[in-house]
Amino acid sequence: MEDKFSVIIPTLLRSIHLESLLDNLQQSCYVDEIILIDNTGSYRSSLSKVRVITRGENIFVNPAWNLGVREARNENLCICNDDINFNPDVFRFISLHIDKGIIGLDTSNYYLSHDVDFTIESIKERCWGWGCCFFIKKSNYKYIPEQMKIACGDDFLIKHIPAFVIKGLKISWTSISTTSFNNEFLKIQEEDLNYFKTL
């Protein structure tokens, strides 16, 4: 399954895009499995590629990324928010470049009216929206400290892995980080940021 991807999606089932995203990924010949980390413990799916994993409580996004990577059966990974959607044809392009490091989204992706020619560029720090969907080899992934629950997981990865952005991919979205920007999670995000500064 050299070119096949495992797609990892943490969710609290608050996004209007989740079902269309899953349907889109289900139809892609490049997607072998979709690992849905259900932080509510209530989701059921009839889609053949969807594997639902729950711990019976909200383990939060960074630990969910780590769990999804451990569970993934493919070397090629996509870690994705539940509140966006995109053209799965991009997996073919990504598979040609994924050996370079970790590839996330460019801010411009959110404002395109349609896909244009895909390109990648090296970056030193993340831009807005970078961590909403990124691609990496399982063997290159660096497990995020479990103390960091919501924020700075993408910053941690960029700090340890050569990082890139993909340009030319249209992203459908309504409000990025629908769940994590909720007021109930702001204190955790502040604690995550303070911990990340110590690393």
pLDDT band at residue 89 under the 50/70/90 scheme? very high
Q: What is the pLDDT of residues 104-144, one digit of tens each?
A: 999 999 999 999 999 999 999 999 999 999 999 999 999 99
pLDDT in tens, 59-75: 999 999 999 999 999 99
Mean pLDDT of the chain: 93
Give which of 35, 17, 57 is closest to 176, Cα–Cα.
17
Confidence of residue 177 (pLDDT cuts 50, 70, 90): low
* pLDDT score for 1: 46
**Percent of the chain clearing pLDDT 90 (strictly above):** 87
Report, at the CATH architecture level, how domain 5-196 is classified: Alpha-Beta Complex (3.90)
Q: What is the mean pLDDT of residues 182-194?
A: 85
Across the range 97-106, mean pLDDT stands at: 98
C-alpha torsion 184→185→186→192, nearest 10: 160
Cα–Cα distance, 164 to 62 (Å, whole number): 20
- Closest among 98, 138, 100 to 6, alpha carbons compared: 138
Q: How confident is the model at residue 14 (pLDDT cuts 50, 70, 90)?
A: confident
Cβ atoms of 77 and 135 closer than 8 Å: yes
Alpha carbon 196 to its chain's center: 19
178: pLDDT strictly greater than 60: no
